[in-house]
Chains A and B, each alone.
Chain A
């Protein structure tokens, strides 16, 4: 009888120890399950999805760049046109080069074609928000980050976004070092 008891004890003790191990085995098991099924990928932060994008419409956005007041610059968009969905966060880049041997400051003014499209442009960031001052021979790439609001009238399929740089008179600092942070941002 005692021997039988001892055998039962042994078996049950093994089960108890195995279940202690099972508790720890749940850790890799849990991670594997999450990984395989994609339930909860522990390696990646949750991606934020923009649900406001109207995928049914595609807008052609033509980009245009102009200079006034004999600004000794070269100014152009990196892409002539881009295709965006209303509601989609998009970014375009313009490049400007100062051809002169002195620092020059300018301010960009936007215009839209058709004009009513302007009110549907939500710009999060634009080089037109601030005065741009370029050192001698400096080249700068500048972004415009924007969302076209989905309320844009349905008959508007092509929008032209045009920027014109005007020379700004004023105290131009002799060293272009102060413009360096702005250059890095661009």
Chain B
């Protein structure tokens, strides 16, 4: 990590920094904090990945192989929580920290000290989650959604998870306030809102979503906590509460949350595709409006996660149609990306491979989402592996591939070195093949009726599960190529020019590579 800024520090003669650990603990520099976020996210990605390996090892063969059912439930629960709150969300905040000030011509984030605090809240939260495996009763096994009444009944691992969510929520809210303030108040002269790079736009909208829904999740888990320890009965039917209420409150947060995890990915892809197609983004303003529409619609579709809880038909129809409506702005986006590539002079360096791969595989996840939005179909497929396949297509092939694309895209700017294309391409093809090997077969498992979150299964599911497990281990090992590529790039490699990608046009490419520790202290003028 030191090496990232080894050069950058030379440019800074104004004042001294503390070095070593103190530097990272006390830093208020957006680039340092971005780096911290990204490494934290990677550590959590590996942790969550190991848990996933545990799940796939158990499911490699029918019968109970390695874990008892309680521990298996803990694995699925913590895999979900760690990947969502520890890996995907902090990765995007890392991108926001690194890129947003550079892309809008600001010198740093609006609240630099709060920025430091937002990051340093995360490691304790992650520690709470990991430590919860070792308390009596183990970690929570209620699923990442922490549905009542199970979550009201479990041991102290659940309390640790609740506290971790509180802390991570506070971190997200502070981060979002910081991002919105930076974008609204600190743009370079001449940078109107409709001139902002699309990544900045998607993060602006995402940050608003976070501020709107993270407090609702905090409220939901607070209610769980008081139900558990202070004799309230929000979700306890025996005391006049209703467990279904928890699902409503949770998904009021949960559905915007899934767009929080995909909108910045849309932003990254919208930066990468024009750069490698060497054409400006097709339909810029429609992209902005589509992003805003998706964000607004995300607030009125939450109950499509709850079609089997016994809603009246009118409610099911409303949530079904509203959900289908989201396919329209999402379709606009996919159309625009394809239209951007249309007749472009495309080259396929690693960032572009991941971006095109993203469009291909994310769209498949989008289509299975459309299928699941149909109420009668959803009632059949609820809690089967079809749903697991769907959300891994949009979260792994969607969010994660976009994160990889963004990392390969901006690493030359961050480190001053070009990425080893051979490693990058190997990483892409291994990830792509093993991802599909793992998750494509899960569609068939789900359609055949295999339920999720169960450690054992009927022998008719054995072949597809064996394939999925092989794919999962391959996918996990492929990420070591990624680590190797990143470390190699930090250590050295071909010197990167200021603008290594021919078609890239946003402000960060006007800075030298690696980006100086303090950039845009005098704001650039955007025409």
Residue contact B312 to A5, C-beta cutoff 8 Å = no
Residue contact B248 to A19, C-beta cutoff 8 Å = no
- By a CB distance below 8 angstroms, the chain B residues around A178 are none
- By a CB distance below 8 angstroms, the chain B residues around A9 are 110-111, 177, 181
Contact bitstring A1-45, B, C-beta under 8 A = 1, else 0: 100110011001101111111111011001100000101101000
Residue contact A23 to B220, C-beta cutoff 8 Å = yes
**Interface size of B by Cβ–Cβ distance < 8 Å?**
34
- By a CB distance below 8 angstroms, the chain A residues around B93 are none
Which of the segments B10-18, B208-216, B323-331, B433-441 contacts the partner chain?
Answer: B208-216
Residue contact B215 to A5, C-beta cutoff 8 Å = no
**Interface size of A by Cβ–Cβ distance < 8 Å?**
25
* With A16-B173, A40-B244, A42-B240: A22-B181 Cβ-Cβ less than 8 Å: no
B111's partner among A5, A17, A18 (CB-CB below 8 A) is A5
- By a CB distance below 8 angstroms, the chain A residues around B244 are 40
* With A5-B110, A26-B252: A20-B218 Cβ-Cβ less than 8 Å: yes
Residue contact A22 to B216, C-beta cutoff 8 Å = yes
Residue contact A37 to B110, C-beta cutoff 8 Å = no
- By a CB distance below 8 angstroms, the chain A residues around B252 are 23, 26
B215's partner among A16, A27, A30, A37 (CB-CB below 8 A) is A16
Residue contact B212 to A19, C-beta cutoff 8 Å = yes
Inter-chain CA distance A16–B210, complex, in Å, is 9
Residue contact B216 to A12, C-beta cutoff 8 Å = no
B241 CB, nearest partner CB in chain A, Å: 8
Near A by CB (< 8 A), chain B positions 156-201 give: 173, 176-177, 180-181, 184-186
B248's partner among A16, A18, A22, A26 (CB-CB below 8 A) is A26
Residue contact B184 to A8, C-beta cutoff 8 Å = yes
Contact bitstring B471-500, A, C-beta under 8 A = 1, else 0: 000000000000000000000000000000
Which A residue's beta carbon lies closest to that of B176? A12
* With A26-B248, A42-B240: A5-B181 Cβ-Cβ less than 8 Å: yes
- By a CB distance below 8 angstroms, the chain B residues around A42 are 240, 242
- By a CB distance below 8 angstroms, the chain B residues around A19 are 211-216
Inter-chain CA distance A1–B110, complex, in Å, is 9
Q: Is B42 part of the contact surface with A, judged by Cβ < 8 Å?
A: no
Residue contact A8 to B211, C-beta cutoff 8 Å = no
B313 CB, nearest partner CB in chain A, Å: 11
A8 CB, nearest partner CB in chain B, Å: 4
Q: Is B8 part of the contact surface with A, judged by Cβ < 8 Å?
A: no
- By a CB distance below 8 angstroms, the chain B residues around A18 are 215
Residue contact B215 to A24, C-beta cutoff 8 Å = no
B50 CB, nearest partner CB in chain A, Å: 33
- By a CB distance below 8 angstroms, the chain A residues around B213 are 19
Residue contact B234 to A27, C-beta cutoff 8 Å = yes
Inter-chain CA distance A19–B173, complex, in Å, is 11
Inter-chain CA distance A31–B111, complex, in Å, is 41
A39's partner among B111, B217, B312 (CB-CB below 8 A) is B312
A84 CB, nearest partner CB in chain B, Å: 33
Residue contact A20 to B185, C-beta cutoff 8 Å = no
Q: Is B310 part of the contact surface with A, judged by Cβ < 8 Å?
A: yes
What are 26 pairs between A and B in contact, CB < 8 Å? A4-B185, A5-B111, A5-B185, A8-B177, A8-B184, A9-B111, A12-B177, A12-B211, A13-B177, A16-B173, A16-B211, A16-B214, A17-B215, A20-B215, A20-B218, A21-B219, A23-B218, A23-B219, A23-B220, A23-B222, A31-B242, A37-B312, A39-B315, A40-B244, A42-B240, A42-B242
> Would you list the 6 A-B pairs with minimal beta carbon distance, nearest first?
A23-B219, A20-B215, A19-B215, A23-B216, A8-B181, A12-B177
List chain B positions with a Cβ less than 8 A from chain A: 110-111, 173, 176-177, 180-181, 184-186, 211-220, 222-223, 234, 240, 242, 244-245, 248-249, 252, 310-312, 315
